[in-house]
């Protein structure tokens, strides 16, 4: 069965979006279990009075109460007493459910927008999804890839097949040799010419295989990098 994994941003009016817009460089991750909600506020340069006041305003706008919190150097974890999604309408969540798609938790908010990672089961559903979400705010597509196979579990997590499955044997060989011979070490243990000589191929061929391998791996990582980058 063919599936599609898509990652996109949607800017719309929400308490989480407002918080991440007000506090630059901050991201919010939200997990729901239909009873309690847990959120993590990460990327804080300092947990000062302004941030504490913003959290109290956030709880008020969510019409909920914070029953537990944890603190690290630049991250705050909060457990809310009520299921927030019943009180605050999430256009992505409502629309994604309507068009037979799966939104993967956690729900991420960055720079005033929600970052959504979705599994869809047909291109028709994707077109309908984006057509409806467009009425709520600005959409920015970050990545889209086709996933073939019968096991959904293997495609919801980062695996070696996600990263390396599209590489040719020559690209894998170039990447492995570059790592083994020290091309990526700091300081660099070998330049492109040395790695190519060990492999017994022209330097231009080695560089071509390596660059294509790097490009494919980075494209595979893009959705995961987007979830972490703020």
pLDDT tens figures, 125-160: 999 999 999 988 889 988 888 877 655 555 555 555
Q: Selecting from 1.10.10, 1.20.81, 3.40.710, 1.10.3470, what CATH number does the domain 160-228 have?
A: 1.10.10
Question: Is 11 buried (19+), middle (13-18) or exposed (0-12) by CB count in 10 A?
Answer: middle
Distance in angstroms (rounded) separating the CA atoms of residues 68 and 66: 6
β-strand partners of 110:
27, 113
| 220 phi and psi angles, rounded to 5 deg | -70, -35
One pLDDT digit (tens) per residue for the chain, 230 residues: 778 889 999 999 889 999 999 988 889 998 887 778 899 998 887 778 888 899 999 998 888 889 999 988 788 999 988 767 666 778 888 888 889 898 888 888 988 999 998 999 899 999 999 999 998 888 998 888 887 765 555 555 555 555 676 788 899 899 999 999 999 998 999 999 999 999 999 999 999 999 999 988 887 776 666 655 54
Q: pLDDT tens digits for 179-200?
A: 999 999 989 999 999 999 999 9
Q: Cα–chain-centroid distance for residue 162?
A: 14
Q: Provide the 3-class DSSP secondary structure of residue 62.
A: coil
In the chain, CATH 1.10.10 sits at 160-228
């Amino acid at each position: 069965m063919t599936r599609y994994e898509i990652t996109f941003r949607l800017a719309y009016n929400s308490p989480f979006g407002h918080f991440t817009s007000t506090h630059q460089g901050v991201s919010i991750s939200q997990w729901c279990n239909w009873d309690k909600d847990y959120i993590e506020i990460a990327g804080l340069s300092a947990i000062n009075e302004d941030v504490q006041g913003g959290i109290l305003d956030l709880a008020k706008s969510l019409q909920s109460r914070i029953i537990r919190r944890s603190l690290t150097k630049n991250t705050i974890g909060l457990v809310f007493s009520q299921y927030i999604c019943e009180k605050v309408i999430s256009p992505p969540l409502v629309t994604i459910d309507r068009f037979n798609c799966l939104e993967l938790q956690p729900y991420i908010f960055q720079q005033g927008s929600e970052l959504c990672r979705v599994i869809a089961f047909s291109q028709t559903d994707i077109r309908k999804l984006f057509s409806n979400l467009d009425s709520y705010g600005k959409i920015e597509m970050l990545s889209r890839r086709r996933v073939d196979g019968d096991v959904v579990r293997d495609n919801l997590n980062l695996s070696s097949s996600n990263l390396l499955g599209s590489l040719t044997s020559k690209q894998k060989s170039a990447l492995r040799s570059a790592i083994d011979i020290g091309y990526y070490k700091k300081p660099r243990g070998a330049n492109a010419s040395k790695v190519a000589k060990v492999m017994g191929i022209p330097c231009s061929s080695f560089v071509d295989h390596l660059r294509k391998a790097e490009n494919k791996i980075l494209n595979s990582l893009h959705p995961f990098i987007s979830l972490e980058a703020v």
